[in-house]
Amino acid sequence: MTERTHKDTAAKAEPTKRTPQPEQTPLPVAPSVENILMLQRLIGNQAVGRMLVSDLTSNILVRQPSRDAEVAPSKSLQTLTDPSSVSVSYSGIYKDILARNEKRAALLDFRVRLATVQRGEELSGGVAPSQEEIESLQMEIDQLDSRIRMSLTELGMDSEEQLRSVMEAKPKKEFASFIDNAAKYGMPVKFLRTVLANYHIKIINSGDDNVQPTLDTMSLSRDTMDTVENFSPLLPFGESAGIQTIFHESTHAYFDLESKDPNTAKIIETGQQHYKDAPLKMGKVADDPNRVFQEAAASYVGHRVVSWWQIFEMLSMAASGEIPSDAIAEWVEDAKKQYNEKMSRQIFGYQETGGFFGFGTSQTETTRALPDSLRIFLDTRLLEGKIPNEFEQVSGFQELVRQATQPAEAFQ
Ligand SMILES: [Zn+2]
């Protein structure tokens, strides 16, 4: 990815040098609409500082609210965003790109008027710009556009792909480091790697962890990522919830990615059928079988991985001598009991119920167990057979038990 980015930039820079274009281009090729829309989407959706880009009449309007009074109108301009993203700061990639401009309102007004005039429509309540005004404001727009364009080129972000790769470098790196760490402890990470390679990853400073299939994006919260940073079985940093969340959300992402695969498509279809009219708690009935199916799958995976992890932690403590030797047998027995109990759970999944047009809803769990086809699929494909039902089936655990219970003289 990095290599390709560099190559593309060089290839683009070269023809400019060979073909000088004197004077003739005060209005060079505008930044491609695709780039601008991408920039807008990234900023709108991806929290890159208190800035906003809005595409108007194929030109670009950049808005960087600096006062509270400006934030609300800016929010209302965003068409593709979750409101939480506005207040989030991002480490300055766009500081150079999006120059502050005190005349934004004038520019916006001008662009709307200009576009109206150009389309030959009548201005309602507005005044058509004079030739002089057009020239002077057009010059400002050109300068702004060309600054943005230059900055994008300088940063190697003059294509959609490059822009994305720069924006996603850090979240991807953090997710990759989580995966490497999880792999080290023997957790099933193949499907996480599929998600890492093929899905957009965002880290959000506010709001809940979520997957947006329409945007091919998995958003993990800063909190989630912080708790799993360098997680280890002997350092109790409360990483359990983070592990559970990451595996849960990655399952949603994986199903989205694989939904075209015939085998997976069949699992999804069977699963949706299975949860059609399924009973929910409090005497309710499922009317959103796809959601119940999705949450059943994701919750099953998250539950099994985190349960495995918790027992792994218990055994690691015992094996590292943190448990008094006369308590070890009971400790191990407890770990075994807990593992088998946790893995016997077969009922997962929920959907939103109640409320009115999405307000005031709550999540109500189903009381129906997973369909066999789904359980087997998750156990083998996602969990790679690494998280079996019985404690005795986990070979790594047996090794830890052996270390925990072997006579102390073995170390002498
Ligand atoms: Zn979910």
Domain residue spans of the chain: 2-158, 165-411
Give backbone dihedrals phi and psi of 54, rounded to 5 degrees, phi first.
-130, 135
Size (the chain), residues: 412
Name residues whose C-beta falls within 8 Å of residue 167's C-beta, 6 or more positions apart in sequence.
Answer: 42, 46, 48, 93
| Predicted confidence band of residue 68 (pLDDT cuts 50, 70, 90) | very low
Span 227-246, average pLDDT: 89
Rounded Cα–Cα distance for residues 60 and 284 (Å): 50
- Amino acid 146: pLDDT: 63
Determine the Cα angle at 380 with ends 289 and 194, to 5°.
80
Q: Which range (36-50, 126-140, 197-211, 396-410) has the least confidence?
A: 36-50
Q: Give 260's DSSP letter.
A: T
CA of 327 to the centre of ligand 1 (A): 39
The SS3 assignment for 280 reads strand
Higher pLDDT, 285 or 357: 285
386 C-alpha to ligand 1 centroid (Å)? 22
Q: Quick one: what percent of the chain has pLDDT higher than 70? A: 57
Distance from Cα 27 to the centre of ligand 1, integer Å: 48
| Tokens of residue 189, six digits | 């990470």
Q: Which of 345, 346, 344, 333 is nearest to 397 (CA)?
A: 333
Q: What is the pLDDT of residue 391?
A: 97
CA–CA distance, 216 with 224 (Å, rounded to integer): 20
Among the listed residues 351, 208, 215, 331, the one whose alpha carbon sits nearest the alpha carbon of residue 276: 351
CA 37 / ligand 1 centre spacing (Å): 29
Give residue 250's pLDDT: 98
Average pLDDT estimate for 199-215: 87
Q: In what order do the strands lie in the sheet with 210-212?
A: 200-204, 217-221, 210-212
C-alpha to C-alpha distances, 63 to 135, 264, 281, 304, nearest whole angstrom: 22, 44, 48, 46
117 vs 302 pLDDT, higher one: 302
Taking the model in full, what pTM does it have? 0.66
- Measure the CA–CA gap between 388 and 379, rounded to whole angstroms: 8
The answer to whether the beta carbons of residues 368 and 284 sit under 8 Å apart is no
**What's the CA gap between 52 and 320, in Å, rounded?**
52
How much of the chain is in helix, strand and coil states, percent to nearest 5?
60, 10, 30
Average pLDDT over residues 9-38: 35
Lowest mean pLDDT among 18-32, 170-184, 198-212, 262-276: 18-32
Distance 346 CA to ligand 1 centre (A): 16
Q: Of 90 and 216, which is predicted with more confidence?
A: 216
Q: Which of 40-54, 216-230, 272-286 has the lowest mean pLDDT?
A: 40-54
291: closest CA among 283, 280, 302?
280
**Ranges of H-type helices in 259-350:** 262-274, 289-319, 328-343
Name the 3-class secondary structure at 325.
helix
Give 108's pLDDT tier (boundaries 50, 70, 90).
low
Residues 286 and 278 sit within 8 Å (Cβ to Cβ): yes
Contact (CB, 8 A) for 366 and 278: yes
> What's the CA-to-centroid distance between 54 and ligand 1, angstroms?
31
CA of 302 to the centre of ligand 1 (A): 10
Q: Mean pLDDT throughout 36-58?
A: 35
Question: From the CA of 352, how far away is ligand 1's center (Å)?
Answer: 11
Q: How confident is the model at residue 157 (pLDDT cuts 50, 70, 90)?
A: low
Q: How confident is the model at residue 349 (pLDDT cuts 50, 70, 90)?
A: very high
Tens of pLDDT, residues 286-320? 999 999 999 999 999 999 999 999 999 999 999 99
Looking at residue 206, its pLDDT comes to 76
On average, the pLDDT of the chain sits at 72
Would you place residue 266 in the very low, low, confident or very high pLDDT band (cuts 50, 70, 90)?
very high
Distance 213 CA to ligand 1 centre (A): 12
- Quickly tell me which residue has 């109790």 as its tokens: 236
Of residues 310 and 119, more confidently modeled = 310
- At 334, list the tokens: 């407890």
Query: How is residue 298 written in tokens?
Result: 């994701």
Rounded distance from Cα 78 to ligand 1 centre (Å): 26
Residue of 73, 72, 31, 71 lying closest to 55 (CA atoms): 31
With a cut of 90, say whether residue 351 has pLDDT above it: yes
Average pLDDT over residues 112-136: 62
Q: Is residue 18 very low, low, confident or very high in pLDDT (cuts 50, 70, 90)?
A: very low
Q: Which is nearest to 60 in space by CA: 34, 79, 80, 91?
A: 34
Cβ neighbors of 118 (< 8 A, separation 6 or more) are: none
Encoding tokens for residue 193?
A: 């790697």
